[in-house]
Structure 1
Amino acid sequence: MSLISEENVRGGSVFRDLSANDEEWQPTEIESLCMNCYQNGTTRLLLTKIPFFKEIIVSSFSCTNCGWSNTEIQSAGRIQDQGVCYTLKVNSKQDLNRELVKTDCAITRIPELDFEIPPFTQKGSLSTIEGLLDRAVAGLEQDQPARRASEPQVAEKLDEFIQKLKKLKDVEHEFTLVIEDPSGNSFVENPVAPHKDEALTVTRFKRTVHQDQQLGIRADDDLGEEPAGNDLDSMRGEVLVFPTNCPECNAPASTNMKLVQIPHFKEVVIMATNCDSCGHRTNEVKSGGATEQLGTKVTLQVTDASDMTRDVLKSETCSVLIPELEFELGMGALGGKFTTLEGLLEDIKDLTVSKNPFVCGDSSDTDRVEKLKEFGEKIEKILAGEMKVHIVLDDPAGNSYVQNVYAPEPDPEMTVVKYTRTFEQNEELGLNDMKTENYQEAK
């Protein structure tokens, strides 16, 4: 029997919005083994979409023989191209109300207490910072009665540690919460969106081979060795196609990749995915060259609507600032893009307003929704040429670019500044521990 019935796959997608009025959308029932009495029970699967979690699988098992039951929720969203790490400085009780999504593969740390929740030890959850602390306390207290009888010294030390965890909710002193998720699907709320959150740092990272194996996207015996004879010259002028899954409907799709030379700049790799099932399109750009010796800061003064047609290359290490709106988009957000200025602003609007998960459903807040709506209206004015602003692209790797429409003459509306990276910027780019000079060949 098929796991998903044909009636539940209408419209080309097995995931549908959860609705009490949709009487035809029924869960799929599967006969399965009860792990309590080892008789046959029934598992019910419901594939649906809910705000913020996107696609999920709700599974419920019940056994009529022994009465045992179990319910579980699993994320059905795709694994992101990069992992994500959120570092939050909690310095007030208001920070405890921040909403967060923690997947089951995420690692949670509180460095001040030398406390860590390893991956795959908890199920994924949608909660708050306070709820995360309560869940950790409840997990530690669960077996304390048995420990007090068998290992009283261990139980006493755990009681002391539990009190320290509970005391964090009083926020008498600032503490740090780190959520590191190799799948890239965890989130921590920014309550001042669309403005930059000074207490929250978001960084993207490349997964290790071990993390890929834990997520099941790499075989255990695959050590990640690069194939021999990989020559970029043979790829120039050729469009490479490889299979993938659509990030929206998870249907099989194809990704096209090509090396492109941008005039007056450098070579980049453009990857584009088109889905025939739902029509979704996405593109990503990565630099085809090395990290530059100096960082680049490009400041463009937008004077009229014609500036919206300028080509823009935003690398994944580039941050975008609009000083007039007090807006800053951190590095890693939106990934790498080769688009126009209009396309970049539309993506910023979608990210901060239209697709912001904290402004829909029960997570929405009236004041926050009004602020984001006002921000969206200002973006619309910029797109229409009714508002003059400065767009700043700050890329410490030096791999971002804005088209000079006066080339080869200087652009009077654009300023390009080269600068020396700070130690912190080199640390984020992984350059401080990278040594490529003065190596001697081993004899």
Structure 2
Amino acid sequence: MCSVDQKPVFRDLSADDPDPEVTEIESLCMNCHANGTTRLLLTRIPYYKNVVIMSFSCEECGYENNEIQPGGAFAEMGVRWKLRVEQQADLNRQVVKSDYTCVKIPEIDLEIPAQSQKGEVTTVEGIISRVIAGLTQDQDSRREQDPEAAVQIEGYVERLQGLRSLDTRWTLLLDDITGNCFVENPEAPRKDPRCDRTEFKRSKDEDHTLGIFTRDEVSDEPLLPPADPETGCYDQLERDEVMSFNTNCPDCNAPADTNMKLTHIPHFKEVVIMATNCDACGHRTNEVKSGGGIEDKGVKFEVRVAGKEDFSRDILKSETCTMSIPELELEVGGRALGGRFSTAEGLLRATADQLAGSPELCGDAPAMARGSLDRFIAKLNEVLDGERAVTLVLDDPAGNSYVQSLAEDPSTPDDGVKITRYERTYEQNEELGLNDMKTEGYENS
């Protein structure tokens, strides 16, 4: 158990914590091969994630080296970004790359393989500049030893300079199996007009590359017994039982307990509710997982929110369900709010709280970005105060989301909800990991 006196593993650097825990390790100096010292500090970057700062110094030769590595867990799924670079503002977008980010520019046949560069925080123009610097660093000696190759590189650098000066439109592709890659959206909280983000399920080989193995791969004993083929529920998760297991806080990585319970939503299906409460940093998470598998068809709900009665409508939003409000030009991905069982008011209020704590409203963010978010949050508050009617659109390709009907007879259609079931596309099946299995009726377009 974690006591309230225990400090988080990853802590903010502040005056309230004047003595951060720094670990010193004797290390070999790669410059003079004497013994130096590596200092490790586990800390947090506000509004980003936990990181490990490493600082090496050698007293013999004076060599120093500083490095930063992510201290959090890998995301559950990989991520792909496709940015259409058309304006000067696109070149100034911030980009977060991990060690496992693969960068491609199809127009000039450029590919930077994963694990060939260290992770960094840069810009779109910075990626091009780093490639140019790498290609031109030995050009003087190359002109003497291999003039033909030097001419070819100079021609390729000119093409790169053309991308940086926007002589033509081009596309930047980022593929990251860790899911810890990010491209700034200057139009936030509105949907990015020139950038698409898609998630994908990692293959077994990609999991092994990251050092992720299932319990069955490292042990002969399965983590949980197989699910009942009729109910789809695990034997341990009986209806009236709450299962508790040890885990780590997703915020500070301190030991914590997660409670898990199986419950049934009337007129829908069984779901698993999980709640984690960290005594070290006070972080709380509530998450809902579907107790069954993926449905045969996707489902789309269009919920009209115009009065107090609509605010009280129960909604189950799975982590594969995207949410949008056309009247406010808002669209958020499924993992932005996670899986949760709440009400229409609860979803809207959670969206407002998440935007209010975004980095665009703090620090040295541009005034334009802060003003845009302030105006949007004000409109969202008007909706919560009942002064503005909106349509809440929930689109779940897995079909595991649910909206309560307010009609007295459950079999009677609810005028406030429009339900559409649809066949998934090939891309949606790929995101859900269904294309690895035998599926019929879908073609790769």
CA contact (8 A) 1:213 1:219 kept: no
Residue 196 and residue 301 in structure 1: after superposition, are their counterparts in 2 closer, same or farther (change >3 A)? same
> Are 1:106 and 2:101 matched, yes or no?
yes
Task: Give 2:356's aligned residue.
Answer: 354
CA contact (8 A) 2:200 2:433 kept: no
Match among 51, 76, 85 for residue 46 of structure 2: 51
1:46-195 paired onto structure 2 within 5 Å? 46-145=41-140, 147-195=142-190
What amino acid is the match of 1:128? Answer: T
Task: Give 1:231's aligned residue.
Answer: 227
Q: For the residues of structure 1 that align with 2:285 and 2:21, how far apart are their CA atoms?
A: 32
CA contact (8 A) 1:235 1:258 kept: no
CA deviation string 1:383-427 (max 9, x = no partner): 233322211112233221111233524323222223344555455
Deviation at 1:219, TM superposition (A): 8.3
> Are 1:435 and 2:430 matched, yes or no?
no
Task: Give 1:368's aligned residue.
Answer: 369
1:277-356 paired onto structure 2 within 5 Å? 277-351=280-354, 353-356=355-358
Residue 253 and residue 297 in structure 1: after superposition, are their counterparts in 2 closer, same or farther (change >3 A)? same
Q: For the residues of structure 1 that align with 2:210 and 2:312, how far apart are their CA atoms?
A: 41
Aligned to 2:199, the other structure's residue is in SS state strand
Task: Give 2:275's aligned residue.
Answer: 272
Task: Give 2:28's aligned residue.
Answer: 33
CA contact (8 A) 2:201 2:433 kept: no
CA deviation string 1:360-400 (max 9, x = no partner): 323x1112111111221222232233322211112233221
Deviation at 1:110, TM superposition (A): 1.5
CA contact (8 A) 1:204 1:332 kept: no
CA contact (8 A) 2:201 2:432 kept: no
Moved more, 10-19 or 53-62: 10-19
What amino acid is the match of 1:186? Answer: C
Deviation at 1:144, TM superposition (A): 4.2
> Are 1:262 and 2:258 matched, yes or no?
no
CA contact (8 A) 1:87 1:177 kept: yes
Deviation at 1:52, TM superposition (A): 4.2
Moved more, 114-123 or 151-160: 151-160
Q: For the residues of structure 2 that align with 1:196 and 1:225, how far apart are their CA atoms?
A: 46
CA contact (8 A) 2:276 2:286 kept: yes
CA contact (8 A) 2:9 2:254 kept: no
Q: For the residues of structure 1 that align with 2:54 and 2:225, how far apart are their CA atoms?
A: 47
Residue 369 and residue 220 in structure 1: after superposition, are their counterparts in 2 closer, same or farther (change >3 A)? same
CA contact (8 A) 2:79 2:181 kept: yes
Aligned to 1:112, the other structure's residue is in SS state helix
Task: Report sequence identity in percent.
Answer: 52
Deviation at 1:95, TM superposition (A): 0.4
Aligned to 1:192, the other structure's residue is in SS state coil
Q: For the residues of structure 2 that align with 1:95 and 1:221, how far apart are their CA atoms?
A: 45
CA contact (8 A) 1:78 1:250 kept: no
Q: For the residues of structure 1 that align with 2:58 and 2:297, how far apart are their CA atoms?
A: 65
Q: For the residues of structure 1 that align with 2:34 and 2:436, how far apart are their CA atoms?
A: 57
CA contact (8 A) 1:203 1:332 kept: no
TM-score norm. by structure 1 comes to: 0.85
Q: For the residues of structure 2 that align with 1:224 and 1:341, how far apart are their CA atoms?
A: 44
Residue 172 and residue 231 in structure 1: after superposition, are their counterparts in 2 closer, same or farther (change >3 A)? same
Q: For the residues of structure 1 that align with 2:337 and 2:268, how far apart are their CA atoms?
A: 21
Aligned to 2:72, the other structure's residue is in SS state coil
What amino acid is the match of 1:400? Answer: S
Residue 200 and residue 158 in structure 1: after superposition, are their counterparts in 2 closer, same or farther (change >3 A)? same
Task: Give 1:3's aligned residue.
Answer: none
Task: Give 1:206's aligned residue.
Answer: 201
Q: For the residues of structure 1 that align with 2:236 and 2:167, how far apart are their CA atoms?
A: 58
Q: For the residues of structure 2 that align with 1:231 and 1:21, how far apart are their CA atoms?
A: 49
Task: Give 1:253's aligned residue.
Answer: 256
Aligned to 1:137, the other structure's residue is in SS state helix
TM-score norm. by structure 2 comes to: 0.85
Residue 60 and residue 282 in structure 1: after superposition, are their counterparts in 2 closer, same or farther (change >3 A)? same
Deviation at 1:25, TM superposition (A): 4.7
What amino acid is the match of 1:230? Answer: P
Residue 146 and residue 246 in structure 1: after superposition, are their counterparts in 2 closer, same or farther (change >3 A)? farther
Q: For the residues of structure 2 that align with 1:188 and 1:226, how far apart are their CA atoms?
A: 41
CA contact (8 A) 1:203 1:331 kept: no
What amino acid is the match of 1:250? Answer: N
Q: For the residues of structure 1 that align with 2:341 and 2:12, how far apart are their CA atoms?
A: 32
Q: For the residues of structure 2 that align with 1:341 and 1:266, how far apart are their CA atoms?
A: 19
Unaligned runs of 5+ in 1: 1-9, 439-443
Aligned to 2:386, the other structure's residue is in SS state coil
Residue 147 and residue 94 in structure 1: after superposition, are their counterparts in 2 closer, same or farther (change >3 A)? same
Deviation at 1:185, TM superposition (A): 1.9
What amino acid is the match of 1:261? Answer: H
Aligned length: 428
Deviation at 1:236, TM superposition (A): 4.4
1:417-436 paired onto structure 2 within 5 Å? 417-422=420-425, 425-426=428-429, 428-429=431-432, 434-436=437-439
Residue 220 and residue 392 in structure 1: after superposition, are their counterparts in 2 closer, same or farther (change >3 A)? closer
